[in-house]
Amino acid sequence: MPRYYFDSIDGSIRHVDEHGVDLRDGHEAADHVACLVGTMLTEHIPTAGTRSINVVVRSDDGSTIYVGHGTFHGCPITDDAA
């Protein structure tokens, strides 16, 4: 099974995956990105403002094969807004 690496960018914080995950193919790697982005976005939900996550998938040879992006935008609703 090929190994894929999932590097993430969360605002100004970059994490480089040095371990990787063994998956069947690039399609399974893309599915894994969707799960990662969803999980990462729900870990620290902003009460107001925007949070964006990017995940870049690298193959064993270091080439980028997929990029996933997710954004959460929070906007508090108050009685003053009605």
Residue-wise pLDDT tens digits, 15-71: 999 999 999 999 999 999 999 999 998 887 777 788 899 999 999 999 999 999 999
Q: For residues 53 and 24, what is the distance between their CA atoms, to the nearest angstrom?
A: 24
Query: What is the total count of domains within the chain?
Result: 1
Residue-wise pLDDT for 69-82, tens only, equals 999 888 888 755 44
**Domain range holding 52?**
3-81
* 3 contact partners, CB below 8 Å, separation of at least 6: 20, 21, 22, 23, 59, 60
- Residue, of 11 and 36, whose pLDDT is higher: 36
Query: Which pLDDT belongs to residue 32?
Result: 96
* CA angle, 65 then 70 then 73, to 5°: 165
The first and second tokens of residue 35, run together, are 């799960």
pTM (predicted TM-score): 0.84
What pLDDT is attached to residue 79?
59
Averaged over 8-14, what is the pLDDT? 91
